[in-house]
Amino acid sequence: MKTYKGSCLCGFIKFVLSGNPSNPHLCYCHMCQSWSGAPIVGWVNFPLSSLTYKSGKPSLYRSSKNTQRGFCPHCGSSLFAIDDNSNKICMTISVLTDKEEIIPTSESFKESKSKWITVCLPSYKTS
């Protein structure tokens, strides 16, 4: 089974994920923009049970009624979002060591996308 390693900016939090990544996508919603400080956030889902922390533990912020977002308590790196009672964790693609292997294939909240952003997504699905 393929594993994916990742960490926050300062390296306090290090983790490993296994299993098949799903729903790699780009999000332009105002909440993701404010949380990340970026106009786009790349996301990918993994089974929650596949997440193992090798060092550190993230802090959580309840960003909406049903969702919490994880971040490093030392450097503030945005790491993941998780919906209450979900068996999946939605990781930011950029915190993964093998981020080039995860290719977003769709976009969400395109109505919030800045007019100056042009994105060319592949027309094929990856696993």
| CATH code of 20's domain | 2.170.150.70
Q: Where are the alpha helices (DSSP H) in the chain?
A: 30-36
Residue 124 in domain: no
Does 12 have pLDDT greater than 90? yes
Mean pLDDT of 20-34: 91
Residue 63 in domain: yes
Residue 55 in domain: yes
Q: Using alpha carbons only, what angle is made at residue 21 by residues 45 and 58, rounded to the nearest 5 degrees?
A: 45
Does 127 have pLDDT greater than 80? no
Q: How many domains does the chain have?
A: 1
